[in-house]
A and B are shown apart, each in its own frame.
Chain A
Amino acid sequence: MKDRVVTTIKLYNYLIVPVQIELDDSTVEAMQRQILSEIEEKAIEGVIIDVSLIDILDSYISYSLSETAIMAKMMGCDTVICGMQPHVALTLAQMGVNMRGIIFAQDLEDALSKLVKAREHS
C-alpha cells in the first residue's frame, strides 16, 4: 500500500500502531487514512495507538487522533491510545483538550484488555 507512514502490527483482529515518527500535520492526516484503510482491508475490530514515544501533542494532532477514533467507531472499531507520557497528558489537560471517542490505557497490555472489555459491552 502506498502512503504508509507508520508501521503497524496485526494481532488477532486488532491493529497496533506504535507511533515512532514525529507527527506533523500531513503525517497525522496520512496516518489517519492509513489506519482507516487497514481497518477495512484487514477486518480490524480494535485499534491501539501507542504514543509513548511522542513528546509533543498539540491541539490539532489531538483533534486528528480523536477524529480518527470517531471514524473508526463508525466502521465498528474501537480506538485505544496507550502510553501517553505524563507531561504530555498534563499539557493537554491544561489546554482543555478533550479527546472524544478515545479510550485511554497505560500500556499495550492494558490497551488489549480494555479493547476486549469494550467488545463485550457492545
Chain B
Amino acid sequence: MRDIKMEDYDMLVKINDERDIVVARQMVKDFAKRMGFSLADITKISTAVSELARNIFRYAGSGFIYIRENTGEEKEIEIAAVDKGPGIENVEAAVEAGFTTSKGSLGLGLSGVRRLMDSFFIESEVNRGTVVIVTKRRRTF
C-alpha cells in the first residue's frame, strides 16, 4: 500500500465522527479558495472531499484526509483519503456508478469523485485499508 506521510502535505483533517465530514469539506473549500480555484471547481473539490470523508467514516470508522498544493507548470490541489479500515474486496466494482454495499445510498461516491477530479488513484487491501488520491489542476482563463 502506498505510504502517505504527513510531512509531505500542507494540511490534515482527522475523520473520527460524522461532523468531521463537514469540517473536512469546509477546510478543503478554504484551501482551494486560497489557491485561486474558480467557484465551480471549489464546489467540485469540496463535494469530492465530502464523499471521501463520508466513506472513511462510514466504512472504516476513522482515517485521515491530507491536502496539499502541487506546484509545477500548473498549480494543482492533491487530496489523499487514507484509512486502515476493512478495505474493498472488488475495487473495480466499487468505482462503478451505482455500486454500493450500503442500504439507502446511490453508490455514486467514488464514481462521482472520479468524474469531478482530473486524476483518480485508488488502492485497497482487504483488512488493511484504503487509499484514494485525487488531484485537480487550477485552470486559468
Contact = CB atoms under 8 A, between A and B. Distances in A.
A63 B18 CA distance: 17
Interface stretch (A6-14, A89-97, A114-122): A89-97
A22 interface: yes
A72 to B, nearest CB: 16
A36 interface: no
Contacts, number: 74
A110 B52 CA distance: 35
Contact of A95 (B29, B39, B115): B115
Contacts of B54: 25, 58, 60
Interface residues of A, number: 22
A96 to B, nearest CB: 6
Interface string B78-113: 000000000000000000010000001110110110
A71 interface: no
B45 to A, nearest CB: 10
A106 interface: no
Given A24-B18, A24-B22, A91-B47, A60 B112 contact: no
Contacts of B22: 22, 24
B46 interface: yes
A59 interface: yes
Interface size class of B (residues with CB under 8 A): 20 to 34
Given A87-B43, A90-B44, 17 more contacts: A26-B18, A55-B29, A56-B43, A56-B50, A58-B50, A58-B51, A59-B51, A59-B108, A59-B109, A85-B43, A88-B43, A94-B115, A95-B112, A96-B108, A96-B115, A97-B106, A97-B108
Interface of B: 18-19, 21-22, 25-26, 29, 39-40, 42-44, 46-47, 50-51, 54, 97, 104-106, 108-109, 111-112, 115-116
22 contacts: A24-B18, A24-B21, A56-B29, A56-B43, A56-B46, A56-B50, A58-B47, A58-B51, A58-B109, A60-B105, A63-B104, A85-B43, A87-B39, A87-B44, A90-B40, A91-B116, A94-B44, A94-B112, A94-B116, A95-B108, A95-B111, A97-B106
